[in-house]
Structure 1
Amino acid sequence: MIRQIEEFTSDIISLLSECIYKPSVDKMNNVIRLYEYNKYWKLYGYYVSERVSAVIGIKINPAENSAVILHVAVKQGARGKGIGRKLINELLSSKSFTTFQAETDCDAVGFYKSCGFEAESIGELYPGVERFLCILRRVRNETLHGKAEC
């Protein structure tokens, strides 16, 4: 179901563009290059019948054994079915990172909180848009909230 994306097909690029602010061709090409050539950037897809339904991208910080969630997108028709949670849960169960972080806005902060992340406002990084830093710390194979999945 979930596997690392190695080839950036048009459906992957289209889905990834849904979670990029004002996705221009140049911006998308830059993001794709980072996933292709930076060994610390990883993009994973959630597949149903060999078709991608969602993606999650992370940037790994090996020195701190942590990861930052950079991108999460679920296809319009697949939303509300727990696929975003499955992506987060898969990372929680398959990776040994001690900390996961995500920066988000008001629209998605509730999702991260429901997955056990603690959220703190970091103010308006863009005029009129409040941003939040969401952090999930793990102790051994458990989160600080006592469960390994959201």
Structure 2
Amino acid sequence: MIIKLISNYEDIIDRKDIADLLGTLLFNPTYGKIQNIAQAVYAKTQGRFYIAMDSNLLIGLMGFSKIDNDKLVVRHMAVTPGHNRQKVAQALLDYAIVSEKVSIVKSEPDDSNISFYKSYGFDVKKRPYDDIVGQKYDCSFNVKE
């Protein structure tokens, strides 16, 4: 597995494999929505977007915002269906923590991927249930030196 930073947000929308996988995280994904996310989050200096490749195939992605130089906030995380439970998300997060030299990682996942955050060691707090967005969680991880 090879992990790399996508530093140009246009690569997110120009590469169909990346745009398609990012689209799996959106309700009614359209090219316009994916383009808006790429520009709004990953075109900014604090935006970070990593992909995992295996044999030249995209197998996962993770997008973050870097805040105050020591905190990553996970915005998007997806693994291709054939690579679930193969530690792709863990490898992406491990790589980002080391590369970005951060001490805190935060996320606000839903039930679809809360098990990843729990298994990684995040402190997980359930939010009040919301009829529109469903169950969400506040997750925080302090990186140990």
Shorter-normalised TM range: 0.7 to 0.9
Question: Aligned residue for 1:3?
Answer: 4
- Partners of 2:41 and 2:65 within 8 A in 1: no
Query: Please, which runs of 5 or more residues in structure 1 have no aligned partner?
Result: 142-150
- More strand per residue: 1
TM-score w.r.t. the length of structure 1 is 0.83
Per-residue CA deviations over 1:60-101 (Å, capped at 9, x if unaligned) read 1026x2010111111111222111111112123333211100
Matches of 1:128 and 1:66, distance apart in 2: 25
Is the counterpart of residue 113 in structure 1 residue 114 in structure 2? no
Partner of 1:137: 142
1:97 pairs with 2:102: yes
Q: Which residue of 2 aligns with 1:45?
A: 51
Partner of 1:61: 67
Cα RMSD of the aligned pairs, angstroms, is: 1.8
Q: 1:13 is matched by which residue type in structure 2?
A: A
Identity %: 20
Say which SS state the counterpart of residue 30 (structure 1) adopts.
helix
Cα pair distance change 1:68/1:125, threshold 3 Å: farther
| Contact 2:50/2:61 (<8 A) preserved | yes
Alignment match, 2:81:
76
Displacement of 1:128 after TM fit? 6.7
**Structure 1 residues 101 and 10, CA gap change in structure 2 (3 angstroms):** same
Aligned to 1:28: 34
CA contact (8 A) 1:35 1:43 kept: no
Distance 1:83 1:102 in 2: 17
- 1:128 and 1:40 map into 2 onto residues whose CA distance is 26
Q: TM-score, with normalisation over the residues of structure 2?
A: 0.86
1:23 to partner: Cα distance: 2.1
Name the SS of the counterpart of 2:135 in structure 1: strand
Q: 1:3 deviation in Å?
A: 0.4
Question: Tell me, which stretches of 5 or more residues in structure 2 are unaligned?
Answer: none
Aligned length: 139
